């Protein structure tokens, strides 16, 4: 039975009957809690039937629909066909699993509907509290600034823009880069994420101004190669200004020698930005934190709470050592954003002074709940456990004659393949078969020119049984694929 929770007839969007709305709200809460409680009983992912896809090609609704009916539509046509990253069998790309406390916090934040662009209210104090926690975690000074953003792609762009201000001064915002007469050059490794090149493009510096340095056998930036390239660029009259290190590369989980990069950046007077999209939060795990030594010397760090931090999407973060430079990169006076020393317009500087967004949601709340409810010790233990599971997967691969490891396992990412004369074709098929089976969902990448099955163990729900399921299903699909190819 559908209970009517129609909006009021007074022109507002509030329900006419709060009692029925409350009952419907409780049903919705129960349904999503059931989803999480029983997620293991579902497939990780399943193909979207054409009829379901068609349902999302309808004209804009001009008339109202009962909330219960819309929720029913959600339960039948949206919930079963998501990417599946809350499921313990999800191992693709780098997706966090979310967590129930964070989910509830997101609902509370939506109820408050706070806009964290600025003004004087406690939601901004919550964000400032997290900035302070992040400084503390990464060993940054009390004067460092921080900001929630969508994700690390945006955080890296902010890092590049602040580095540009450091190199050319705030006047670059008005005069543009060309007025400086300088050719600014940035450096990163061949294993860096594509959003670094995109950040160079978006910032007007140009993606060809990013010089890509080869990696060593552990997929870390080659420091000697970096130093030589910088020297050669200086001889050509270029202006090196930025080096981007990675803490946890997207393909293999390699961590650059951050201490070595910090020393080199200091000597060469370059801005050191670290892309720690998922790897930076390994700082919470006592056994992994020493591998991030040098991070505390970076000028800026980008990372996501929504990856290894398990905060529901999205919750990216940028931390900048020099808050003044950070502010000088974005703050723009406007009459309608005038600051006061009292009243709601007090509390300057505002978050909008540190990034391109003026309207900003309350991402800090789900992060605050997640950190408080679980505590950093438990989050650190979960991060360590992901790495132990990656080692377990590597040991199972090494114990199998049919499988091979394609990259060293340094963190939580395992790149491997099914041995075959037609390996790339077979491994691509295996991954599609795994997805369609609903058992596990790894992704693919290319390592050393070869297509690899890539399992990134990020989800806090993943356990040894899921690793076993990945290995068994890969072997089964690999054998079947070989037979199909041979028969063809
Ligand atoms: C190393 C690295 N950098 C940047 C990103 C981009 O992060 P986001 O998807 O949050 O923008 C990723 C995403 O996986 C990543 O692994």
At 407-446, the pLDDT tens digits run 999 999 999 999 999 999 999 999 999 999 999 999 999 9
| Separation of alpha carbons 302 and 271, rounded Å | 14
Which residue in 130, 118, 144, 157 sits closest to 360, CA to CA? 118
| pTM for the whole structure | 0.97
**For residues 368-380, average pLDDT:** 98
Mean per-residue pLDDT of the chain: 97
- Which ranges constitute the DSSP H helices of 177-317? 194-202, 223-235, 258-268
Q: Which pLDDT score, from 0 to 100, does residue 222 have?
A: 98
Residue 241 near residue 278, CB atoms below 8 Å? no
Kind and range of the H or E element at 484? helix 464-487
* Interval between CA 277 and ligand 1 midpoint (Å): 5
pLDDT by residue (tens digit) across 293-339? 999 999 999 999 999 999 999 999 999 999 999 999 999 999 999 99
Cα dihedral sign for 98, 254, 90, 360? positive
Q: Which pLDDT score, from 0 to 100, does residue 7 have?
A: 65
Q: Which pLDDT score, from 0 to 100, does residue 1 have?
A: 44
- With a CB cutoff of 8 Å and minimum separation 6, the contacts of 43 are 84, 437, 438, 439
- Cα 103 to chain centroid distance, Å, stands at 17
pLDDT by residue (tens digit) across 90-102? 999 999 999 999 9
Residue nearest atom 10 of ligand 1, based on CA coordinates: 151
Structure tokens, 128: 């400032």
User: How does residue 485 score in pLDDT terms, banded at 50, 70 and 90?
Assistant: confident
Q: Is the pLDDT confidence value at 20 over 50?
A: yes
* Interval between CA 193 and ligand 1 midpoint (Å): 7
pLDDT by residue (tens digit) across 222-265? 999 999 999 999 999 999 999 999 999 999 999 999 999 999 99
* Interval between CA 304 and ligand 1 midpoint (Å): 8
- Cα 28 to chain centroid distance, Å, stands at 27
Q: Which pLDDT score, from 0 to 100, does residue 148 have?
A: 98
Pocket test for ligand 1, best of 152, 247, 410 (most atoms within 8 A of CB): 152
* Interval between CA 475 and ligand 1 midpoint (Å): 30
Pocket test for ligand 1, best of 195, 309, 318, 445 (most atoms within 8 A of CB): 195
Is residue 153 in contact with ligand 1, taking CB distance under 6 Å?
A: yes
pLDDT by residue (tens digit) across 30-73? 999 999 999 999 999 999 999 999 999 999 999 999 999 999 99
* Interval between CA 350 and ligand 1 midpoint (Å): 26
Q: What are phi and psi of 453, to 5 degrees?
A: -80, 130
Sheet holding 413-418, edge to edge: 90-91, 441-447, 450-456, 413-418, 403-405
Q: Is the pLDDT confidence value at 3 over 70?
A: no
Q: Is the pLDDT confidence value at 2 over 60?
A: no
Is residue 275 in contact with ligand 1, taking CB distance under 6 Å?
A: yes
- Which ranges constitute the DSSP H helices of 347-409? 363-398
Pocket test for ligand 1, best of 95, 154, 280, 304 (most atoms within 8 A of CB): 304
**For residues 150-158, average pLDDT:** 98
**For residues 441-465, average pLDDT:** 97
Percent of the chain clearing pLDDT 70 (strictly above): 98
User: How does residue 150 score in pLDDT terms, banded at 50, 70 and 90?
Assistant: very high
Q: Is the pLDDT confidence value at 449 over 50?
A: yes
User: How does residue 10 score in pLDDT terms, banded at 50, 70 and 90?
Assistant: confident
């Amino acid at each position: 039975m559908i209970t009517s929770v129609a909006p009021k007839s007074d022109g507002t969007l509030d329900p006419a009957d709060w009692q029925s709305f409350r009952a419907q709200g409780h049903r919705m809460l129960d349904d999503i809690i059931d989803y999480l409680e029983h997620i293991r009983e579902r497939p990780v992912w399943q193909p979207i039937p054409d009829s379901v896809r068609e349902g999302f090609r309808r004209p804009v609704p001009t008339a109202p629909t009962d909330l219960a009916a819309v929720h029913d539509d959600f339960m039948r046509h949206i919930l079963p066909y998501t990417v599946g990253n809350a499921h313990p069998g999800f191992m693709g790309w780098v997706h966090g699993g979310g967590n129930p406390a964070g989910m509830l916090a997101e609902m509370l934040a939506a109820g408050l509907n706070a806009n964290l662009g600025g003004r004087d209210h406690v939601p901004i104090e919550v964000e400032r509290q997290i900035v302070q926690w992040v400084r503390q975690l990464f060993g940054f000074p009390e004067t460092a600034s921080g900001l929630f953003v969508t994700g690390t792609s945006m955080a890296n762009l902010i890092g590049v823009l602040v580095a540009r201000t450091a190199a050319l001064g705030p006047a670059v915002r008005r005069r543009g880069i060309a007025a400086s007469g300088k050719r600014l050059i940035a450096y990163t490794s061949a294993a860096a994420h594509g959003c670094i090149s995109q950040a160079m493009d978006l910032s007007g510096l140009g993606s060809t101004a990013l010089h890509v340095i080869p990696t060593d056998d552990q997929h870390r930036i080659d420091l000697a190669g970096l130093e030589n390239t910088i020297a050669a660029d200086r001889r050509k009259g270029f202006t090196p200004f930025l080096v981007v290190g990675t803490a946890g590369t997207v393909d293999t989980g390699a961590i650059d020698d951050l201490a070595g990069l910090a020393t080199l950046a200091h000597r060469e007077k370059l801005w050191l930005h670290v892309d720690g999209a998922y790897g930076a939060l390994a700082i919470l795990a006592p056994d992994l934190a020493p591998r991030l030594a040098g991070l505390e010397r970076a000028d800026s760090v980008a990372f996501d709470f929504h990856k290894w931090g398990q905060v529901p999407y999205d919750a990216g973060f940028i931390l900048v050592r020099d808050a003044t430079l950070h502010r000088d990169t974005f703050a723009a006076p406007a009459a309608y954003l005038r600051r006061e020393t009292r009243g709601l317009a007090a509390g300057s500087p505002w978050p909008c002074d540190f990034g391109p967004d003026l309207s900003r949601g309350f991402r800090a709340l789900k992060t605050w709940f997640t950190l408080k409810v679980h505590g950093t010790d438990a989050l650190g233990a979960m991060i360590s456990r992901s790495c132990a599971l990656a080692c377990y997967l590597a040991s199972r691969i090494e114990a199998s004659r049919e499988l091979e490891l394609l990259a060293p396992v340094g963190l939580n990412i395992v790149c491997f393949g099914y041995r075959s004369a037609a390996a790339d074709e077979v491994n691509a098929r295996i991954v599609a078969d795994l997805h369609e089976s609903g058992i596990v969902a790894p992704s693919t990448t290319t390592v050393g020119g070869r297509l690899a099955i890539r399992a990134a163990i990020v989800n806090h729900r993943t356990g040894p049984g899921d690793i076993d399921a990945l290995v068994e299903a890969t072997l089964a699909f690999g054998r079947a694929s070989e037979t199909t190819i041979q028969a063809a």
